[in-house]
Amino acid sequence: MKNFFFEKAKNITVNDLLQKLSLKKLKKNFKINDIKELDTAEKHDISFFHSKKYSDSIKSTNSKIVITNKKLKNIIPKHIKIIEVENVILSVSLVTSLFYPSALDDTFDKNVKLIDIKNFINLKVGNNVLVGKNVKIGKNCSIGHNTLIESKVRIGNNCNIGNNVIIKNSIIGNYTNILDGAILGKKGFGFFPSKKNIRYPHVGALIIGNNVEIGCNNTIDRGSLSNTVIGDGTFLDNQVHVAHNVKIGKNCIITGQVGFAGSSFIGNKVMIGGQSGISGHLRIGDNVQIAGGSGVIKDIPSNSKVMGYPAKNIKEFLKENR
């Protein structure tokens, strides 16, 4: 999906990048289109390789130029040009801010105004509904009191948005309900710890599918480079927290106070009991059932039922804890 939330700088060259990273320029300069993750990068995009977890992706990527470090560079196929740095993620952050100079500004949207329902088809709105520029809202939607929809957000048909909701940098499908107090699309909790923490640009979006329900007081952050995704038919209960880049599949049931750390991938028809936590960068298969209160710290294959902290086979857990 094309990223239309952040304006991309044009005519960035590899030597602009190298300068930003305080590295030696190349003799033969060339243009770079964008920065993307390995799996989504196209041939004129730069990408990055910062963990062996992505060894499959580095083999199949379309990118021809990759930021990496000394330790990992030998795994990279020969046809890919390497930019070697000390701290891959910090360098990616610098390059991202070169492409998206406005992405670090996460202050409130100054372009919002009281909504005018005449601009939309059969829209019902409450009091004090604020809407930004270039917002698209489909037909037959409702938006509750004191809700704020920032510029460029897209909402499909037949959606119900509750009261006190805040939506930014998000694309929402059809027949989806967003309940009271949800905060969607804020930048993720990504930064480089230092004396004065360096904030990381989050240029990804939050993509929510069709027939989804997002519970009260949920906080769902947008992606950093890729998107955060909530699949069709997935329902989230109250007080759920979804960090940046998390991808939740279709027809999942996520009960109250569940939390997802960044970049985890959740399959389809996954059921997660209340207050469970899913660590970052994990892969949870399809049809997985996670009992309430579990702490998941490693990948879970499809069709498993787990429980406990750390989560393990539910039968084993219950036997050990009779």
Give residues 184-223 in contact with a copy of itself (rule: CB under 8 A).
186, 189, 191, 193, 195-197, 211, 213, 215-217, 219, 221
Q: Which of 172, 170, 100 is nearest to 141 (CA)?
A: 172
Among 42-50, 58-66, 238-246, 282-290, which window interacts with a copy of itself (CB under 8 A)? Answer: 238-246
Pick 16 or 213: Cβ nearer a copy of itself: 213
Q: How many CA atoms lie within 13 A of 20 on its CB side?
A: 19
Known catalytic membership, residue 50: no
Give residues 278-297 in contact with a copy of itself (rule: CB under 8 A).
279, 292-293, 295, 297
126 binds a copy of itself (CB under 8 A): yes
Strands (E) located in 74-147: 81-84, 113-114, 124-125, 130-131, 136-137, 142-143
Size of the site for a copy of itself (CB under 8 A): 70
The three-class DSSP label of residue 97 is: helix
User: By the 8 A CB rule, do 5 and 184 touch?
Assistant: no
The three-class DSSP label of residue 199 is: strand
What is the closest distance, in whole angstroms, from the C-beta atom of residue 48 to a copy of itself in the complex? 22
310 binds a copy of itself (CB under 8 A): yes
Write the interaction track for a copy of itself spanning residues 15-54; mark x where CB under 8 A is met and - where it is not: ----------------------------------------
What is the closest distance, in whole angstroms, from the C-beta atom of residue 114 to a copy of itself in the complex? 8
**H or E element at residue 15:** helix 14-20
What is the closest distance, in whole angstroms, from the C-beta atom of residue 167 to a copy of itself in the complex? 11
Write the interaction track for a copy of itself spanning residues 88-107; mark x where CB under 8 A is met and - where it is not: ------------------xx
Pick 101 or 293: Cβ nearer a copy of itself: 293
60 binds a copy of itself (CB under 8 A): no
**H or E element at residue 311:** strand 311-313
CA distance 179 to 277: 22
> What are the backbone angles phi and psi of residue 156, rounded to the nearest 5°?
-75, -155
User: By the 8 A CB rule, do 203 and 221 touch?
Assistant: no
* Cis before 101? omega within 30: no
Pick 65 or 285: Cβ nearer a copy of itself: 285
Q: Which residue has the tokens 């360096």?
A: 198
User: By the 8 A CB rule, do 145 and 125 touch?
Assistant: no
Q: Which of 131, 124, 175 is nearest to 149 (CA)?
A: 131
- 140 DSSP assignment: T
| Catalytic residue set | 244
Residues that bind a copy of itself (CB under 8 A): 106-110, 112, 114, 124, 126-128, 130, 142-146, 148, 160, 162-164, 166, 175, 177, 179-181, 183, 186, 189, 191, 193, 195-197, 211, 213, 215-217, 219, 221, 233, 235, 237-239, 241, 243, 251, 253, 255-257, 259, 261, 273-275, 277, 279, 292-293, 295, 297, 308-310, 321
